[in-house]
Structure formats: C-alpha cells, structure tokens
C-alpha cells in the first residue's frame, strides 16, 4: 500500500489543479534487505546473502565500467555525461564535465507499480512543498525571462530552504528539449525560506525550466517546486 496526498498545484492556471505527493513510512537499507533474505525458511545465511549482493554489485560495476548499458527486470542503468563541450574538438574535462549513471525502472518494477494499491491521506506535507514565484537575472536585471551561463541568479518564493550538502536537493536547470538532463547549480551564496541566491554553471544556450528540491520535515520525501516561466539561457 502506497500513501499519497493531493496538494495545490502552483504551476498551472487552474484554481482547482492538484498534484499527488507520495509519502513513505521510512527508508529500508541493505541491512533490512539482508534480514528479509535470511528470514526463516529461505535457506540462506547472512554471509551468503551478503556475498550474493556483493557479487551482483561487482558485476553491474564491471559492465558499466566497460561501457555497457544494463537492462534487467528490476532496473535499467545507462552511462551519461553532464556538462557542456565547447566545440566538436573538445574532450572530457573533469572540472567541467561529470560522468554519471542514470537509472530507471525495469519491467518488473513497472508491473509492480501497475498493480500496487494506493491510499489517499491527509498530511501537513503541503506546508513544505517549495514554491518559486520569480527568477531574477542579476546581470541583466530582468525577471522570469533569461539567465546567463556562468552567471548568477536569485529565486524568490516560499519554503525554498534546503541543505546544500545533500546533492539530491537544491536548484536545478532542466532543458526543455531533454527533460532527462538535470543540471545542478554550481554554488549558493544565500539560502533562506523565501530566497536563494546561486551561481549558474556553464551551460548551453536554450530554453530551460527551473526547479527546486527540498526535504519534508521527517526527511523521508523529496519535495519539488517549479517556476512556471520558461527561462532562456544566453
């Protein structure tokens, strides 16, 4: 059973529009998985279960390092590179580019999602979902229109505060033509609930949306807000 709450959607014009936010009862880690694997009747010992997990992890790492994509019934993983290359002759530079592994659900998890029951609940999580009202371009002194690559900007709104030490959280630019790319900002000068002052990394020209992510009070759910305006990066 997965629980969810409906929250006011600040990103659409409809006064009755809502979005669903999933809530959880906590987090299960590797220790919890191993405990269930060696439960009575499984025939597995804890060292065996840990050895199987470690071997699977090593094989996944081996194929990824060799340049393969991985597709299993449980998950799919593919290598990807973040960052902008200056021209066709440019090469990977760790100071400007980052290799990462993008994951998505496999067919087994997609089937599980289709058959899992849902329960609608009421929660105070709505009081924490970040809201971006405006983006201010500090260099051009414009609002909600353009941003400068390698520049800086300010967003204003409410419930914007987050932990900059958690790389899941913060402000991100997402290209309109490739929503799978999520570009984190390169640093923050000020983070308060109603305003965040940040540095923009070197990114390609184009149209972007701006999102901000923070954590619910119980730190179990990542909450996301989005500026309703599209921003042109110059």
Tell me the CATH number at 217: 2.70.50.70
Looking at the structure, tell me whether residues 210 and 104 fall in a common domain.
no
pLDDT at 9: 62
Looking at the structure, tell me whether residues 218 and 136 fall in a common domain.
yes
Q: What is the mean pLDDT of each run of 10 residues along the chain (234 residues)?
A: 75 64 77 90 91 96 96 94 89 91 94 94 67 92 93 93 93 92 94 94 94 84 90 92
As for how many domains the chain has, the answer is 2
CATH code, 83: 4.10.520.10
Computed on alpha carbons and rounded to an integer, the radius of gyration of the chain in Å comes to: 21
Name the domain boundary from 89, 120, 151: 120
For residue 179 the two structure tokens come to 């929503």
Looking at the structure, tell me whether residues 23 and 116 fall in a common domain.
yes
Cβ(185)–Cβ(200) below 8 Å: yes
Name the domain boundary from 95, 120, 145: 120
Name the domain boundary from 120, 152, 186: 120
pLDDT at 52: 95
Looking at the structure, tell me whether residues 65 and 107 fall in a common domain.
yes
Looking at the structure, tell me whether residues 175 and 96 fall in a common domain.
no
Task: Cite the beta strand spans of the chain per DSSP E.
Answer: 2-8, 18-23, 70-71, 75-82, 98-105, 118-120, 131-137, 142-143, 146-147, 152-158, 170-175, 183-184, 187-192, 195-199, 206-215, 222-226, 231-233
Residue 53 to residue 143: CA distance in whole angstroms? 50
Looking at the structure, tell me whether residues 95 and 148 fall in a common domain.
no
pLDDT at 221: 79
Looking at the structure, tell me whether residues 167 and 98 fall in a common domain.
no
Looking at the structure, tell me whether residues 179 and 81 fall in a common domain.
no
Looking at the structure, tell me whether residues 100 and 134 fall in a common domain.
no
Looking at the structure, tell me whether residues 53 and 154 fall in a common domain.
no
Looking at the structure, tell me whether residues 115 and 145 fall in a common domain.
no
Cα–Cα nearest to 20, from 157, 158, 119: 119
Looking at the structure, tell me whether residues 112 and 164 fall in a common domain.
no
pLDDT at 124: 57
User: Does pTM surpass 0.75?
Assistant: no
pLDDT at 198: 96
Q: Range of 48's domain?
A: 2-120
């Amino acid at each position: 059973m997965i629980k969810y709450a409906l929250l006011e959607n600040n990103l659409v014009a409809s006064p009755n529009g809502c979005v669903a936010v999933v809530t959880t009862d906590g987090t299960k880690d590797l220790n919890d998985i191993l405990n269930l694997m060696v439960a009575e009747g499984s025939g597995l010992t804890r060292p065996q279960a840990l050895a199987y997990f470690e071997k699977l992890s090593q094989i996944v790492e081996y194929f990824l390092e060799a340049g393969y994509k991985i597709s299993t019934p449980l998950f799919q993983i593919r290598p990807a590179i973040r960052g902008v290359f200056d021209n066709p002759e440019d090469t990977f530079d760790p100071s400007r580019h980052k290799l990462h592994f993008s994951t998505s659900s496999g067919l087994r998890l997609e089937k599980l999602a289709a058959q899992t029951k849902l329960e609608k609940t009421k929660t105070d999580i709505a009081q924490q979902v970040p809201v971006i009202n405006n983006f201010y371009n500090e260099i051009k002194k414009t609002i909600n229109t353009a941003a400068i690559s390698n520049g800086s900007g300010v967003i204003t709104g409410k419930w914007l505060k987050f932990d900059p030490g958690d790389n899941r959280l913060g402000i991100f630019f997402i290209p309109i033509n490739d929503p799978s790319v999520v570009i984190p900002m390169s640093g923050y000068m000020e983070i308060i609930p109603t305003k965040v002052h940040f540095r923009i990394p070197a990114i390609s020209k184009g149209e972007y949306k701006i999102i901000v992510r923070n954590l619910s009070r119980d730190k179990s759910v990542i909450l996301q807000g989005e500026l309703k305006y599209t921003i042109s990066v110059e």
